Amino acid sequence: MNLQFDVHIDEPVIVYALDGKITTEDDFAALEAEVFQNLNQNYYRIVFDLGNLTHTNSTGISFFMRTLTKARIMSGELVLSAIDGNVKKIFDIAKLNEVYTIYPTTELAIKHFK
């Protein structure tokens, strides 16, 4: 299944709900274009809801790191929510919970910025 995503804005936060997998750059090309376009429109408080992300690898982790870096350069932040299953295992093994702020729900992640 290709990566699908929904976007909604809860000022000043932009939430991307991901559904599917990220294993190649083609999987997230449309998402990356949208995220970076929105960053340039000053939506730099970002939540990625990963509750329906079924799999990722180093390619996906690299995308998340690029997004985090760009958001921080703009004095923003990226937080993650609802990580579960295989994706949680990968984040735990790579100790990415030490790099990212992670919330169990998207609602709590949004409150991080308010």
Asked whether the beta carbons of 40 and 34 are under 8 A apart, the reply is no
3-class SS at 111?
A: helix
pLDDT of residue 2: 83
| Token pair recorded at residue 6 | 């929904």
Name the domain count of the chain.
1
* Domain coverage including residue 83: 4-111
CATH number at residue 89: 3.30.750.24
pLDDT along the chain (114 residues), means of 10: 92 97 94 96 97 95 96 96 95 94 98 95
